[in-house]
Structure 1
Amino acid sequence: AAYHGADAESLDDAVLRVPRLLRTRDRAVTPEDFETLAIEASQGAVARSICPQQINSQPGVVNVMLVPQANTATIDTAMGISPESFDLTPQLTQQVTQYLDERRPLGIQVKLQSPEYVGVTVKTEVAIDAAYGAPEAQQVILHDLQVALYRFLNPLVGGRNGHGWPFGTAVHPSDIITLLQGITGVRYLGAVMLYELRRQDNGWVRQLAPDNVVKPGPLGLVCSWADTQLRSGHTISLIN
């Protein structure tokens, strides 16, 4: 089954959750309890949850950061997933909050929030093996490179393990080089430039990443998506 076009939880993921569920026993005591129960409360609508200790400084308050499920099909079309797709709806917020309120210790307040999403745009050059010299073959490889980037820099299926880009983890050019050099037909890469997109007021601001490293911050999470107006899409040029 699928939720709004997203793949349902795999058997392996379900097996990994069992020990956590047994330990939780339907009560929220530890940060891990809140994380596990938040996902359970969503009935498949939340993909990831974390209780970041850095922001639990207010006594009696537990902050739970949620990443909702989204349609991953747009990754394969080289469009990525926009951060707006991960917005917490009022209905989901109420559903998870009520579930956790019924299981939290007395005197504890639960606050749900979203990560600070930071967009990553990659600009690079690539040389393709001579065997793929035909224009059609080159276009296939360019498409594969784009899809690989949108998949890698993604909150749901990104990162090296494919379980979502890690919270608070920066993106370095070396990450991109390692990824793209593993694509069939790629001979070598030119320079890799990283741009970041951050929310400002009601929009997004795109700029060259300081020191060519995108740092989302301890509560941040990177993502990538194609938007012509924002120039957020990845740019890959062919070189000889």
Structure 2
Amino acid sequence: MTRFDESTSSAVLPEGMRGHWYNDSAFDADDPWASLRADRTAIVLVDLINWQSDPAGTNLQILRAAGSTTQADHLERRLASTLLPRLVEVLAAARNAGVLVVHARLATRTYDASDVVPALAPYVHAAGAREGTWGADPLPALGPDPRDLSVVKSGSGAFTGSDLDRELRSRGIDTLLWAGAVTNACVLLSVSTGFDLGYRQYLVTDCTAALSDADQAAAKHFIGAYPAQLVTAVQVLDALV
């Protein structure tokens, strides 16, 4: 595990706060997993659902139709070669350890997507991503498992228009691992809200995907300096064994 690097922390933070910037009074720069309890931890998968992340899904089709073929190809490769293989391993270990797996899905419960934020409603409507349809389902490789929690969100962030915060608190969960796509959009907004809600947070960097390496790097820089600890799938596996 890499030692906490204060050079990545915002310069505006008082010196005495930097080592405790993760909503955890027990934070230890030499042991970022200190006091981690599986029964109080969830791993949240952001938008790893068919319409957004499957090669046949509407999201990649829309990107290519708009001329963003390079970005669509990058996202598809990242999902297939890195995110999915590593996340499958992490989820198996998480479920075995008693960590809650959460599927946070951008979808609609209406026929016109009127329950989705205006900026995203046209895309959800075009995808036909209604609850109970193929488009709104998690990617097959990821579940869902009967032990998992699945929530529908109405905006970019996992907490927007969903019961996620209530469901987590009712289970006594105070620690979140984040995975999903797109790193600098829906994942970023999810982690940012989670910070303000008081959760201790980790971003599993190689279980996330963006439209380019530059976007991925920018998201990691912001998230690692502010709302969450950056970790890898291997580090999560080591922590859960």
TM-score (norm 1): 0.30
Structure with higher Rg: it is 1
From the two aligned structures, give the one with the greater strand fraction. Answer: 1
Highest relative contact order (Cα 8 Å, sep 6+), 1 or 2? 2
